[in-house]
Amino acid sequence: MTTQYYVPERSYWPILASIGLFLMALGAGTLINGLQQDGSNHGKWLLLTGAALMACIVFAWFRNVVRESRAGLYSAQMDRSFRWGMSWFIFSEVMFFAAFFGALFYIRVFAVPWLGGEGDRGSSNLLWQGFTAEWPLLQNPDSELFPGPSAVISPWGVPLINTLLLLTSSVTLTIAHKGLKTGSRATVKLWLALTILLGIVFLGFQAEEYIVAYTELDLTLKSGIYGATFFILTGFHGLHVTLGTVMLIVILLRVLKGHFDAEQHFGFEAVSWYWHFVDVVWVGLFLFVYIL
């Protein structure tokens, strides 16, 4: 408490990041709106410029923070601020997924059974007579508008393998963390690299699964509510695994450069928290999207 709290000098990164974010949003909006017309507009370039700018800023901003940290500017109190920051960020991510899980539960518990005529919600049943409620929903109320999937993905093939991969990766990451705390850097490098490998293999299987869904099962975004919930949940999870893998790679590179020691390694811990969070989300997905 006696050391002064570090207040950084004025910085170019936030305003540049705001511009980058704005260009990305503007570009994505223009691009997506163009999809419904001829499909060619300048949105793509805005989006790419924004994304490139963002990538540079993220790199520069984090490099800035890493250098400040290694220059010894951060006190134990500063460290706690980062810990609170990361914890609450992960909580916000939990709530982001909660929205999609909530949607899935509402659809399965209320919306689809009501469409099937359950309870006194008979009015919606009038629209599509003969519709039977089932889950997974293979026959949508309006099969011409939303042709349903021919089958769904069995949980005991690729999804089970992926579950084992991710659960193992949490263990390997913990071993790496233990290695860092005991000062055994060879352990850190080996097990961290293994974690990254598991993440990449997971993503490969996920991609394979999507290809099968689209080409063989007719399970697409357009195949009604089953496809919609399936892809939004697994898709956002996959994006988070991708981001987590990138973050782990950065951490591995930092370890190789000799960063982190047994006491000070919040960057490592933050990424490992994130990885465990992504892992837990997958367990929820495996349970509620694939098995049940």
Partner 1 sequence: MLTQAVAHEHHHGPPPGLMRWVLTTNHKDIGTLYLVFSLVMFLTGGCMALVIRAELFQPGLQLVQPEFFNQMTTMHGLIMVFGAVMPAFVGLANWMIPMMVGAPDMALPRMNNWSFWILPFAFAMMLATLFMEGGAPNFGWTFYAPLSTTYAPPSVTFFIFAVHMMGISSIMGAINIIATILNLRAPGMTMMKLPLFAWTWLITAFLLIAVMPVLAGVVTMMLMDIHFGTSFFNAAGGGDPVLFQHIFWFFGHPEVYIMILPAFGIISHIIPTFARKRLFGYPSMVYATASIAFLSFIVWAHHMFTVGMPLAGELFFMFSTMLIAVPTGVKVFNWVATMYRGSMTFETPMLFALAFVVLFTIGGFSGLMLAIAPVDFQYHDTYFVVAHFHYVLVPGAIFSIMAATYYWLPKWTGNYYNEYLGKWHFWLSFVGVNITFFPMHFIGLAGMPRRIPDYALQFADFNMVASIGAFLFGLSQLLFVYNIIQCVRGGYGADSRVWEGAEGLEWTLPSPAPYHSFTTPPDLREQGGEH
Q: Could you say which residues in the range 214-243 bind partner 1, by CB under 8 A?
A: 220-222, 224-229, 231-232
Position 112 contacts partner 1 (CB under 8 A): yes
Query: What phi and psi, each to the nearest 5 degrees, are found at residue 241?
Result: -65, -40
Is there binding between residue 286 and partner 1 (CB under 8 A)? no
Alpha helices in 107-184 (DSSP H): 112-115, 122-127, 158-182
Q: Whole-number minimum distance, CB 198 to partner 1, in Å? A: 27
For residue 282, give both structure tokens: 């997958």
Contact between 4 and partner 1 per CB under 8 A: yes
Say which residue the tokens 């916000």 belong to: 92
The Cα–Cα gap between 199 and 192 comes to: 11
Among 42, 109, 142, 256, binds partner 1 (CB under 8 A): 142
Applying CB under 8 A, the span of 18-26, 168-176, 270-278, 280-288 interacting with partner 1 comes to 18-26
Q: Decide whether 87 or 154 has the Cβ nearer to partner 1.
A: 87
Both ends of the chain: CA-CA distance in Å? 51
Rounded to 5°, the CA angle 17-22-23 comes to 100
Find out whether 226 and 152 touch, Cβ atoms under 8 Å. Answer: yes
Site for partner 1 contains 106 (CB under 8 A): yes
Q: Which amino acid is at 168?
A: T
Residues 39-68 that bind partner 1 (CB under 8 A): 61, 67-68
Taking CB under 8 A as the rule, does residue 244 contact partner 1? Answer: no
Q: What's the closest the beta carbon of residue 249 comes to partner 1, in angstroms?
A: 23
